Chain A
Amino acid sequence: MTKKLANLKEFIPLYLMMIPCAVYLIINNYIPMVGIVSAFKKFRITDGILGSPWVGLKNFEYLFRSHDLAIIIRNTLLYNASFIIVNTIVGLFLAILISEIKNEKMKKLYQSSILLPFTLSMVIVSYIVFAFLSQKNGMLNNSIFKNNPVEWYSDPSWWPLILILVQCWKTVGYGALIYIAGIATIDRSLYEAAAIDGAGKWTQIKHITLPALLPSIITMFLLSVSRIGYSDFGLFYLIPQGSGTLFNVTSTIDTYVYSTMMAPGGIGRSAATGLMQALVGFILIVLANALVRKLSSKDAIF
């Protein structure tokens, strides 16, 4: 026993070193997990989460009875699905094309340019989008649509396209770089052998590049699937400039959680929505991880 204690003594510095991070995780992550009981309460600021009265499943009932729930779930899932498809295809295209370019200097320039939008904040992006779409003096209405200007911020029909384009523009460079890294690891002699056998560029891509990239495509795909219940709050909250008429096509679970939280008396409903999101996220991430582990065990997260 004393030996065991003496043994433990050696590790005391390590335990001390963990304390700051552990305290942070408890405050930022664990105590809020307990706070999900607010989904079953009628929240009153003066009473706090624990002191507020229980209301059972009332918050959930309210949520399920409104039409909003179906809309935000549909939007979240459909947008995420489109983002996954579009970003994978465009990212692969950018990566394969860049790997075919011989001039190293130009290659670096291209690589820098596709990553640049990734470094901007969504607020800045929303300003840029506004410069293009502003109804009165946006660039598009003043040049291309001069004769019949589009009421961008009140016309829902364009928004799925706009949001997909903006999301792709901002983030595609990130995925492309992962694919570029994947292509760099492919043995060049495979291409030479294929070329000698008379395989053209397209055949080489189909039979060498794509199969070699498959593991990273699958991992990226599963990781995004595991986050399919979540969305980039900034994209959906800032880019449409909070336009209420666009609610049907631009609101997602995350924007709904925020706006109901800020609405008077909405905290319970907001917490209920957040809890459902977290539960679904939990199930999906565990499933996705199990799948990754099966397909390529070294890419599993845990």
Chain B
Amino acid sequence: MIENKSYQITFNVIYLFIALIMILPLVLLFISSITDDNALLANGYSFFPSKFSLEAYGYMVTNSSTILRAYGVTIVVTVLGTVIGLVITALMSFSLSIRNLPGNRVISFFVFFTMLFNGGLVPTYIMWTSLGVVNTIWAYVFPFLLTNAFNIVLIRSYFVSSIPNELYESAKIDGAGYFRIFWKMAIPLGKPILATIGLFSCLLYWNDWLNGLYFITDPGQYSIQALLNRMSQNIQSVINSTSSSTSVMNLPQASIRMAIAFIAILPILVMYPFIQKYFANGIMKGAVKG
């Protein structure tokens, strides 16, 4: 028994060490954001900075328009993308879950083939550009992320296994059409898988910077990730583009970057304890790809 206890202590020590490796980089990000900018430049990023300062956050509050706007874009895009994506994915999955639907095999192939082959970045880019999404909110919502065949497969198999055929039969006898069956049965019964996919979709949209890189050139339309991405190249042009009156001279460059990065992940950090379990379950069931 003593041996068992020493095992446990060793394992816990190792795992605490691993947990620190996972978490400490985020701590460094936060500490840099509350470090005095001059101290940062002089002594470098550090877990134990020589001087603390909330200047970066103060600067953000006084020049909040850029950041608030980017935050707003991100929130709107995340909500729109997740809702539209879930609705069209669920509709398609439900229809494909009806086995005796004429043409089911052909349509299934039409959906699944998109997993095997794609046109690549260039044609997709040209396609969406020619549809005029450039510098609009739709550039974040539509390209690449909205739905994919993998999610359709997952939700379809969930519907197939959780809605017994007898339910359809009895619903039909009661005079319900497929629209009603979808709203009254499929959606309520499919809640667990829809919630999981929705959560992952939220995360993807929140973290998406690629569509911003491809399709957004107008700083007024930056999402928070697009803003951060452009800022790593040139902080001044980004931060001053919408509020021209600010003086560039006293911009706390290094720490404000870290501060904006920190408030970009803040919602994730706040929600994480509550949603972590759903993420873990989704992954453990092999339900969601990476």
Chain B residue with the shortest CB-CB distance to A101:
B11
Q: B-facing mask of A1-27, CB < 8 A → 1, else 0? A: 000000010110111011011101101
- In the complex, the answer to whether B261 meets A124 with C-beta atoms within 8 Å is yes
Contacts A11-B102, A14-B95: A28 and B121 contacting too (C-beta < 8 A)?
no
Where chain A touches its partner, the secondary structure class is helix
Contacts A174-B290, A267-B122: A35 and B44 contacting too (C-beta < 8 A)?
no
Q: A-facing mask of B143-182, CB < 8 A → 1, else 0? A: 1101101001100000000000000000000000111001
- In the complex, the answer to whether B178 meets A13 with C-beta atoms within 8 Å is yes
At the interface, yes or no: A194 with Cβ under 8 Å from chain B? no
At the interface, yes or no: A102 with Cβ under 8 Å from chain B? yes
A201 to B272 Cα, complex, angstroms: 34
Interface residue stretch chosen among A62-70, A72-80, A125-133, A155-163: A125-133
CB distance from B56 to the nearest CB of A (A): 13
- In the complex, the answer to whether A127 meets B95 with C-beta atoms within 8 Å is no
CB distance from B81 to the nearest CB of A (A): 12
Please tell me the number of chain B residues within 8 Å of chain A, measured between CB atoms.
Answer: 96
- In the complex, the answer to whether B283 meets A178 with C-beta atoms within 8 Å is yes
CB distance from B120 to the nearest CB of A (A): 3
At the interface, yes or no: B188 with Cβ under 8 Å from chain A? no
Interface residues of A in 16-47 (CB under 8 A from B): 17-18, 20-22, 24-25, 27-36, 38-39
**Residue from A112, A136, A257, A270 within 8 A of B272 (CB atoms):** A112
Residue among A21, A112, A118, A141 having the largest count of chain B Cβ atoms under 10 Å = A21
- In the complex, the answer to whether A275 meets B120 with C-beta atoms within 8 Å is yes
Q: Can you list 24 A-B contacts (CB < 8 A)?
A: A17-B179, A21-B152, A24-B146, A25-B149, A27-B131, A29-B119, A118-B290, A123-B228, A124-B264, A124-B265, A128-B29, A131-B29, A131-B32, A132-B28, A136-B44, A137-B254, A139-B44, A142-B43, A177-B280, A178-B286, A238-B229, A267-B126, A271-B120, A285-B115
At the interface, yes or no: B98 with Cβ under 8 Å from chain A? yes
Interface residues of B in 43-76 (CB under 8 A from A): 43-47
- Residues in A neighbouring B95, C-beta threshold 8 A: 14-15, 17-18
CB distance from A136 to the nearest CB of B (A): 7
**Residue from A126, A137, A261 within 8 A of B121 (CB atoms):** A261
Q: A-facing mask of B261-280, CB < 8 A → 1, else 0? A: 10011001000110010011
Contacts A14-B178, A116-B23, A271-B120: A121 and B225 contacting too (C-beta < 8 A)?
yes
Contacts A17-B178, A28-B144: A101 and B44 contacting too (C-beta < 8 A)?
no
Chain B residue with the shortest CB-CB distance to A11:
B101
Q: B-facing mask of A108-126, CB < 8 A → 1, else 0? A: 0111111111111111101
At the interface, yes or no: B243 with Cβ under 8 Å from chain A? no
Known: A120-B265, A127-B29, A238-B232. 18 other contacts (CB 8 A): A11-B101, A14-B178, A17-B182, A24-B147, A29-B118, A32-B118, A34-B119, A38-B126, A112-B276, A114-B18, A115-B279, A116-B22, A117-B22, A119-B268, A120-B268, A171-B290, A181-B286, A286-B116
Interface residues of A in 49-102 (CB under 8 A from B): 49, 94, 97-98, 100-102
- In the complex, the answer to whether B122 meets A274 with C-beta atoms within 8 Å is yes
Contacts A102-B8, A171-B290: A128 and B19 contacting too (C-beta < 8 A)?
no
CB distance from B175 to the nearest CB of A (A): 12
- In the complex, the answer to whether B120 meets A32 with C-beta atoms within 8 Å is yes
The chain A residues found within 8 Å of chain B, CB to CB, are 8, 10-11, 13-15, 17-18, 20-22, 24-25, 27-36, 38-39, 48-49, 94, 97-98, 100-103, 106, 109-124, 126-128, 130-132, 134, 136-139, 141-143, 169, 171, 173-174, 177-178, 180-181, 201, 233-234, 238, 241-242, 254, 257-258, 261, 267, 270-271, 274-275, 277-278, 281-282, 285-286, 301-302
- Residues in A neighbouring B41, C-beta threshold 8 A: 136-137
A257 to B124 Cα, complex, angstroms: 12
- In the complex, the answer to whether A35 meets B88 with C-beta atoms within 8 Å is no
- Residues in A neighbouring B14, C-beta threshold 8 A: 97
At the interface, yes or no: B208 with Cβ under 8 Å from chain A? yes
- Residues in A neighbouring B290, C-beta threshold 8 A: 118, 171, 174
- In the complex, the answer to whether B121 meets A257 with C-beta atoms within 8 Å is yes
Residue among B28, B114, B147, B280 having the largest count of chain A Cβ atoms under 10 Å = B280
- Residues in A neighbouring B209, C-beta threshold 8 A: 121-123, 234
The 10 A-B pairs at the shortest CB distance, nearest first, are namely: A35-B123, A274-B120, A32-B119, A142-B44, A121-B207, A137-B44, A181-B284, A32-B123, A21-B92, A113-B19
Chain B residue with the shortest CB-CB distance to A172:
B22
Interface residue stretch chosen among B104-112, B189-197, B244-252: B104-112
- In the complex, the answer to whether B283 meets A174 with C-beta atoms within 8 Å is yes
A183 to B15 Cα, complex, angstroms: 18
Contacts A22-B92, A128-B26, A137-B41: A169 and B21 contacting too (C-beta < 8 A)?
yes
- In the complex, the answer to whether A274 meets B121 with C-beta atoms within 8 Å is yes
A13 to B179 Cα, complex, angstroms: 6
- Residues in A neighbouring B23, C-beta threshold 8 A: 113, 116
A137 to B44 Cα, complex, angstroms: 4
- In the complex, the answer to whether B142 meets A131 with C-beta atoms within 8 Å is no
